[in-house]
Amino acid sequence: MNKDFISIHDITRYEFNELLDVALEIKEQPDKHRKALKGQVLAMIFEKPSLRTRMTFEVGMYELGGKGIYLSPAEIQLGKRETVEDVAHNLERWVDGIMIRTFGHDNVVRLARAASVPVINGLSDLSHPCQAMADFLTLREHKGGLSRLKLTYVGDGNNVCHSLMLAAAKAGTKMAVGTPKGYEPRPEMVKLALEDGKDTGFELLLTNDPKEAARDADAIYTDVWTSMGQESEKEARTKIFAPYQVNAALFAAAKPDAIFLHCLPAHREEEVSTEIFESYRSVVFDEAENRLHAQKAIMVTLMGNGKKNG
């Protein structure tokens, strides 16, 4: 596996499945990995706030025998107080790995190029690979073989959608994406997913009809309609996305045993009805838990050899 975890596109199909295997083993046998990262330190750069990302990385490092150190936007100010490269060269002298949750994807790429220690993409405006790994771990637990599934994503073709497409391509999962016109996933990300899925059985449907996307789905996934940094668009987006709410009417098009996924936080009665969010179909808190296990697998795989200052 590469030194860094920036995008699911960057890992092979074998590495993707191996990460899921490691995550499941860590979840089922946590004591076996208690000292996997003993004495190691992860710097956690946050330019966007987060409950799940901070808690799962910090708790994950603690449970693996190491420590996560939170760095707030005020302490870092990437590209303002000092360059991304200078931040990387400072941190690599002190820590064994870096996680970054940021706006511009270029910050992740530049940090990884400059740092000699592993860099993990905790989220960027382009992708959210740790979330997708947790999502596919959840799908595997609830549905078994990933290659037999159809995953439907409804809503904004955003960073979460991008990473789900890449994960589906690696897993050979069929995927349908239903978005309003003008809010489709980026063409370059669609192209990467189709390239990655050439030999896996991956199929991708892009449509502006949410019910067409949901037809015969094994799982329906959504995300907030207005992400951080888009607050000025909230009123307009709420009107545009209203027909894309995940509710009982939409689920009627899916398979009877279809499950509901959401990366959280959720805005009930916006992108998802309370009825669905609180129903037996919802596995959103299993997903949230699985962020911990998936990210432990990523950290163990990247940092397990303890190559600080290498």
Same domain, 205 and 117: no
Q: How far is CA 252 from the centre of its chain?
A: 27
- Tokens standing for residue 246: 């995940």
- Residue 310, domain member (yes or no): no
- Residue 199, domain member (yes or no): yes
Same domain, 62 and 151: no
Query: Average of pLDDT values for 215-226?
Result: 97
Domain of residue 190, residue span: 131-288
Same domain, 77 and 140: no
Give the single-character DSSP code of 185: P
Q: What single string gives the DSSP state of each residue in 38-94?
A: TT-EEEEEESS--SHHHHHHHHHHHHTT-EEEEE-HHHH-BTTTB-HHHHHHHHTTT
Task: Classify burial at 20, counting beta carbons within 10 Å of its beta carbon; exposed 0-12, middle 13-18, buried 19 or more.
Answer: buried
Residues forming beta bridges with residue 261, ordered by sequence position: 221
Contact 170, 196 (CB under 8 A): yes
Same domain, 33 and 122: yes
- Residue 184, domain member (yes or no): yes
* Per-residue pLDDT reduced to its tens digit, 118-165: 999 999 999 999 999 999 999 999 999 899 999 999 999 999 999 999
Same domain, 295 and 227: no
Same domain, 63 and 100: yes
Amino acid 33 reads H
Same domain, 189 and 242: yes
Q: How far apart are CA 57 and CA 200, in angstroms?
A: 31
| Number of domains observed in the structure of the chain | 2
Give the single-character DSSP code of 82: B
Query: Average of pLDDT values for 24-32?
Result: 97
Same domain, 232 and 83: no
Q: Which residues neighbour 290 within 8 Å (Cβ) at sequence distance 6 or greater?
A: 23, 27, 134, 135, 137, 138, 141
- Residue 22, domain member (yes or no): yes
Same domain, 148 and 47: no
pLDDT at 277 over 70: yes
Q: What is the CATH number of the domain that holds 87?
A: 3.40.50.1370
Residue 310: what pLDDT? 38
Catalytically annotated residues:
101, 128, 131, 223, 263, 291
- Residue 1, domain member (yes or no): no
* Per-residue pLDDT reduced to its tens digit, 187-213: 999 999 999 999 999 999 999 999 999
Query: Average of pLDDT values for 104-131?
Result: 98
**Does the predicted model carry a pTM greater than 0.85?**
yes
Same domain, 147 and 250: yes
Query: Average of pLDDT values for 90-104?
Result: 97
pLDDT at 74 over 80: yes
- Residue 2, domain member (yes or no): no
Residue 75: what pLDDT? 84
Same domain, 75 and 30: yes
pLDDT at 217 over 60: yes
Same domain, 55 and 172: no
